[in-house]
Amino acid sequence: MKAKGVDLSLLGPLEGMDIGCEPGDIETRLPLIKQFSGLRWSVSAGPWCLGRGKSVSQLISQLKEDCGKFRPDFIGETGIDRHYNYGEKGEMEELFIACIELANELNLPITVHNREADKTVLEILRTHRADRRGIIHCFSGDRESARQFLDLGYAISFAGNVTYKSNEALREAVSYVPDSSILLETDSPYLSPVPVRGRVNTPLNISYTYEFAAQLRGTSAQELNEKVKQNYFSIL
Ligand SMILES: [Zn+2]
């Protein structure tokens, strides 16, 4: 199979997670996901679903339907976005907590969206434990915030923004997270790594992030890839 001129068979078996954004999107995602035998999927009602005419309970009941029909491996992205502050005051928190409760009901891990919201996300993860824990996705904090998420038992996933010049604190976090808790992700179509920064991102660019993160950690991209794979499968 070819994507934009790249022969995907050269990349070896693709293992990974296709992430949900809103209830119902899995119906259109699944035919694409099924083209790759190693891909799993999540379903979600992320904070951006708020403020669009649906209540938290409506979103959750749609999400439950998705779970029943499509058997996901994760719930998420779920979390808090202080950059956009979606919905009415308190609704993001309510939706995040309801997603954690659903994950616990179904015995699934979660993948957490945290944009400029360390304090609230940490507080909710402490008071509303996700039994299976999961992933802090697209981690953009510093070493201290990484430590707090690690203490709660979460894996930390880094994206292409680790390559951006101004992100020194984030690079410290990349070096700090232990081998047993590190993941890398594309976050495509966002956060294209240097040297393709500014273009629409695709999963094919993940190798730049691997090379960069491996160098920071004093290892090779191949070895880092082995660790990431192990960590990913241990969460599932
Ligand atoms: Zn996100």
CATH of the domain at 95: 3.20.20.140
Q: Are 214 and 223 in contact (CB under 8 A)?
A: yes
Domain boundaries, position 79: 14-108
Which DSSP letter does residue 185 get?
-
Cα–ligand 1 centroid distance for 90 (angstroms)? 19
How far does the centroid of ligand 1 lie from the alpha carbon of residue 99, in Å?
15
Q: Is 90 exceeded by the pLDDT of residue 155?
A: yes
Q: What are 21-64's pLDDT values in tens digits?
A: 999 999 999 999 998 888 999 999 999 999 999 999 999 999 99
| Residue 5 pLDDT grade (very low, low, confident, very high; cuts 50, 70, 90) | very low
123 lies in some domain: no
By the 8 A CB rule, do 69 and 25 touch? no
> For residues 43 and 65, is the Cβ–Cβ distance under 8 A?
no
* pLDDT, position 118: 96
Confidence band for 1, pLDDT divided at 50, 70 and 90: very low
Residues 102 and 141 in one domain: no
Q: Is residue 48 part of a domain?
A: yes
- Could you tell me if 159 and 200 lie in one domain? yes
CA 113–ligand 1 middle distance (angstroms): 4
Split into its structural domains, the chain has a count of 2
pLDDT, tens digit, 9 for 90 and up, residues 159-211: 999 999 999 999 999 999 999 999 999 988 999 999 999 999 998 899 999 99
Confidence of residue 3 (pLDDT cuts 50, 70, 90): very low
Q: Where are the beta strands (DSSP E) in 28-109?
A: 39-43, 74-81
Say which residue, 36 or 5, is predicted with more confidence. 36
Q: What is the CA(6)–ligand 1 centre distance, in A?
A: 27
Residue 126 maps to a domain: no
pTM equals 0.92
Residue 113 lies in a domain: no
- Residue 125 falls inside a structural domain: no
Averaged pLDDT score across all residues of the chain: 93
In a shared domain, residues 24 and 83:
yes
Q: Is residue 24 part of a domain?
A: yes
